[in-house]
């Protein structure tokens, strides 16, 4: 049961005594040279600005605040929470930061190691583990829950196992995280005005989408966004149109970078994937008449028919923009389960996209879920113009807070935050390497 907010001075002293006892017990198992880290930990735990135990945590889920929330990233509340979190992280930096967790072995439930003691200290400083859990060398269920919370805050698989990517996130220096917070406070402040009663926000580094209504998130979607050398742009627009069972028209860049190499490898590729070639006057051009060892194909229009092979699958979401990008479905659903979802040529693929388009078309007469599903099942192309355009914002936010004690961080995938250590995914800009299916084309 959570502690009340009206505790007496005696209770506050008792809580401080409890924390002091936990810190003292942990000191006996620390590695040589860790005394400075413990001193910094004590300074943070007992800082006057930190408040009482019940100000920082509730006791659900072993004492930590839940990470899940329906507060939008674009919200005045988020800006206020970020500013408070910035103060907390500044205090952490002033007190020496957090200890670096040795990366010599994977840590998980059941492990006994001095590295677990350091891991506990690290998680206590960042608020993921209650100080009452102590700094013993055992990886128990308290540490497991704390690691899962930490992973959730950093967009990592919540398996409770500390391995490559979790180590990298744990060992980003506190002053670098503080700088990341400061950078993103500025970004969020620029978007803190009125954005619409309903809007869609695509957060590129998080590869995620929020559908927001009435100041709260009503849907979240996993996304696939642009790779490093084909980045998804920052933009503000309005969704005006849905295209069910869309045709796919390959831009010249994809014809050159992807389709030509695919045809060099397999001359049946276009036929197998229902892609037709047209001249400017509308005449269909046979694939065998084109020299695929040249760039001649770039002058033609490549159109893929609606159907199971279509690279956009069931729907395309249109909004005016100078970058010729859009949001869409994909037949390659397995990519949504990947940790690094930076695979497109700038467009945004949307998981569970039909839930999103039903919400978008809600006020457009005659287009409920049943009607949409019926048209999609027919495999016939159909345009749906929204009665009320819905604002859409493509943004680049690598840190945000939905509570002063729940700070989210993501990889700086496009290297825009100014610290190389923040691009932890270590993804390289790579050219397309070829493939067999149309959904291998990264658009």
**Which residues are identified as catalytic?**
328, 347
How many Cα atoms are found within 13 Å in the side-chain-facing hemisphere of 59? Answer: 9
C-alpha closest to that of 432 among 423, 419, 443, 417:
443
Mode of pairing for the β-strands spanning 348-350 and 327-328: parallel
Four-residue CA torsion sign, 239, 242, 243, 248: positive
CA distance 350 to 22: 46
Contact yes or no for 259/295 (Cβ under 8 A): no
- 377-400 burial: b if 16+ Cβ within 10 Å, else e: eeeeebebebeebbbbbbbbbbbb
Q: What is the DSSP letter of 3?
A: P
List all residues 6 or more positions away from 223 whose beta carbon is below 8 Å from its beta carbon: 202, 207, 208, 209, 341, 348, 349, 350, 351
């Amino acid at each position: 049961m959570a502690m009340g907010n009206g505790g007496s001075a005696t209770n506050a002293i008792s809580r401080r005594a409890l924390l002091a006892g936990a810190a003292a017990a942990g000191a006996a198992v620390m590695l040589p040279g860790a005394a400075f880290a413990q001193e910094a930990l004590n300074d943070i735990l007992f800082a006057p600005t930190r408040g009482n135990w019940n100000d920082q945590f509730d006791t659900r889920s072993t004492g930590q605040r839940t990470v899940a929330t329906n507060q939008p990233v674009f919200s005045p509340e988020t800006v206020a929470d970020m500013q408070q979190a910035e103060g907390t992280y500044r205090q952490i930096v002033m007190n020496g930061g957090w200890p670096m967790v040795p990366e010599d072995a994977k840590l998980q439930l059941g492990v006994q190691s001095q590295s677990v003691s350091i891991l506990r200290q690290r998680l206590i400083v960042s608020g993921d583990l209650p100080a009452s859990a102590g700094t013993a060398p055992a990886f128990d269920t308290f540490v497991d829950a704390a690691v899962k919370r930490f992973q959730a805050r950093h967009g990592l698989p919540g398996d409770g196992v500390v391995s490559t990517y979790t180590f990298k996130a744990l060992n980003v220096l506190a002053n670098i995280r503080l700088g990341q917070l400061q950078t993103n406070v500025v970004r969020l402040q620029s978007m803190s005005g009125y954005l619409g009663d309903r809007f869609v926000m695509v957060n590129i580094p998080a590869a995620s989408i929020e559908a927001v209504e009435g100041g709260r998130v009503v849907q979240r979607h996993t996304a696939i966004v642009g790779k490093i050398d084909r980045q998804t742009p920052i933009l503000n627009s309005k969704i005006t149109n849905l295209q069910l069972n869309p045709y796919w028209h390959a831009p010249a860049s994809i014809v050159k970078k992807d389709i030509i190499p695919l045809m060099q490898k397999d001359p049946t590729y276009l036929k197998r994937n229902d892609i037709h070639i047209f001249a400017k006057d509308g005449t269909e051009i046979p694939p065998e008449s084109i020299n695929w060892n040249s760039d001649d194909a770039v002058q033609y229009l490549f159109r893929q028919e609606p159907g199971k092979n279509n690279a956009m699958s069931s729907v395309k979401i249109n909004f005016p923009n100078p970058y010729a990008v859009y949001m869409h479905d994909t037949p390659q659903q397995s990519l949504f389960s990947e940790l690094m979802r930076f695979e497109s040529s700038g467009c945004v693929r949307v998981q569970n996209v039909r839930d999103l388009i039903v919400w978008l078309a809600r006020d457009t007469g005659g287009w409920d879920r049943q009607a949409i599903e019926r048209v999609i099942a027919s495999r016939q192309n159909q345009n749906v113009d929204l009665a009320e355009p819905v604002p859409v914002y493509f943004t680049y936010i690598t840190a945000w807070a939905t509570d002063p004690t729940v700070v989210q961080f993501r990889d700086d995938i496009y290297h825009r935050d100014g610290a190389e250590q923040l691009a932890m995914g270590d993804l390289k800009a790579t050219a397309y390497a070829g493939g067999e299916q149309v959904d291998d084309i990264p658009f």
